[in-house]
Amino acid sequence: MVDFRQIITIEPGKRGGKPCIRGMRITVGDILGWLASGMTIDEIISDFPELTKDDIYAALAFAAAKENKLRIAA
C-alpha cells in the first residue's frame, strides 16, 4: 500500500498550490484526468517516464482520502 503523504507535495508557488507528485509540476488532477480519459497506467508512464506506478497509486489514494473527507496532512 502506498502512503501518499510520502509522494504528494503541496507548494504554494508551484501550480497554484495544487497537490503535485514528488515536487514535480505534474498534479494529482493531471493524473486523475488522464485516467478518466481512458489512459492506462502504463500509457501514462510511457508518456511521462519520470512517473512511477506508486506515483499513480498515490494520486488515487490522495483523491480517495479527500473524497472521504479524511484529514490530509502533507
Residues 10-68: tens digit of each pLDDT: 999 999 999 999 999 999 999 999 999 999 999 999 999 999 999 999 999 999 988 88
Reported confidence tier of residue 73, pLDDT bands at 50, 70, 90? low
From 36, 44, 9, select the one nearest 25 (Cα to Cα): 9
Cα 67 to Cα 74: distance, rounded to the nearest angstrom:
16
Q: Which residues contact 3 (CB under 8 A, 6 or more apart)?
A: 58, 61
Please indicate, yes or no, if residue 72 is contained in any of the structural domains: no
Total domains present in the chain: 1
Contact 57, 63 (CB under 8 A): no
Whether the pLDDT of residue 74 is over 60: the answer is no
- What CATH number did the domain enclosing 50 receive? 1.10.10.10
Cell numbers for 9 = 507535495
* pTM reported for the whole predicted model: 0.87
Structural domain includes residue 74: no
pLDDT at position 69: 80
DSSP character at residue 27: B
Residue 21 belongs to what domain range? 4-67
